[in-house]
Chains A and B, each alone.
Chain A
Amino acid sequence: GAVVSQHPSWVICKSGTSVKIECRSLDFQATTMFWYRQFPKQSLMLMATSNEGSKATYEQGVEKDKFLINHASLTLSTLTVTSAHPEDSSFYICSARGMQLRGSYNEQFFGPGTRLTVL
C-alpha cells in the first residue's frame, strides 16, 4: 500500500507560537491531501482539503488564517497552526489520495498523525 508520513510525530509548544506539520506521500503523487483533527475519544473531523498548486478548501468553522495549509508539490503538504493556544491541542492527521480515476473512488492513505500540545 501507499505510504504517508508526518513530521513531527509530536510537538509541545508555548501558547502564542506557530507550529508547522508536514505530510508527505513517500511512494506516490498525491494530487489531494486532507487534514483532519481528532480530539481525545472523538472522531476525525475534516479541517480542509488541499489540491496541489491551488488554495485549500476549508470546512465550515475552520479558521483559514489560523490553520495555514500549503500544498506546493505532489508529495508535500504542510499545516501551520498559527498563534497556537491550549484549545488547539489535538491529534492532527493528514491523508493523501492519488490521481482520481473518473467515476471511481481512490483510497485515502492516512499519515501516522501529529500530537500537538500547547502549554
Chain B
Amino acid sequence: GENVEQHPSTLSVQEGDSAVIKCTYSDSASNYFPWYKQELGKRPQLIIDIRSNVGEKKDQRIAVTLNKTAKHFSLHITETQPEDSAVYFCAATPEAAGNKLTFGGGTRVLVKP
C-alpha cells in the first residue's frame, strides 16, 4: 500500500517568512495529492490539492509543487501570518484505491508574531 512521509514534524517561523513542508510517497500509482490544515480539536480543512498531470499550483499565499519522478510534493506558504499556525497534513491517493487517502505524519507550524 501507499506510504507517505512528511517533514519536518514541527516548524517555527517568524511572521512574514515562508514555510515549506515536504512529503514523499511510495506508490507510483498515486495521482492526487491534497493538503489539509487542522486546528486543535477541529476537522481537517482542504487548503490546496494537486493532480499528477500538473507540476505546480498556486492559490494566493499557498502553493504546492509535485515531482512525480522523485515521488515528492511540497507545500509552500509565503508571508506567513499567526493564523497560519496549525497542523498541516499531506495525503496521497491512487484513484484506483477508491480515493482512500494515506496521510503523512503531520507538521505542526507555529508562526511567531
Contact = CB atoms under 8 A, between A and B. Distances in A.
Interface of A: 32, 34, 41-46, 49, 91, 93, 97, 100, 103-108, 110-113, 115
B14 interface: no
Given A42-B105, A44-B89, A93 B43 contact: yes
B38 to A, nearest CB: 9
Contact of A43 (B32, B41, B106): B106
Contacts of B106: 42-43
A112 B39 CA distance: 11
Interface stretch (B58-66, B68-76, B78-86, B93-101): B93-101
Interface of B: 31-32, 34, 41-46, 49, 51, 89, 93, 95, 98-106, 108
A106 B44 CA distance: 16
B99 A108 contact: yes
Interface SS of chain A = loop
A103 B32 CA distance: 11
A104 B105 CA distance: 26
B109 to A, nearest CB: 14
Given A44-B89, A113-B42, A113-B43, A108 B98 contact: no
A105 B95 contact: yes
A43 B95 contact: no
A111 B43 CA distance: 6
A112 B34 CA distance: 18
* A49, A91, A105 pick with most chain B CB within 10 angstroms: A105
